[in-house]
Amino acid sequence: MVALFEPDAVIDTGAAELTRGHEAIRALFEAFAESGRKFQRGEQRPAAINGDLALTSTRLADGSIISEVARRQRDGTWLWVIDRYSVAW
């Protein structure tokens, strides 16, 4: 999962502070996996792309929305720079 993010990316989980950078993101996902929780499935919405930035989002079954901002890399791939989880997460 960490490979999907830029090295200095941030995740807003709703906690007081943002999760910032690969090391903290890795720790977040490790804790998530160890807890036994599962990601919710949802309906992926079409990406809104403007140049080298894209806003992506998923509508979850409970109506909440997860959103991400991705940046196109020099090789043409996309990596997330901001990830904001739903409060329901």
3-state helix, strand, coil in the chain (%, to 5): 20, 45, 35
CA torsion angle for 22, 51, 12, 59 (degrees, to 10)? -120
- Encode pLDDT of 47-64 as tens digits: 999 999 999 999 988 888
Q: Please tell me the pTM assigned to this model.
A: 0.85
Domains belonging to the chain, first-starting first, are 2-84 (3.10.450.50)
Least confident of 3-12, 37-46, 62-71: 37-46
pLDDT of residue 87: 55
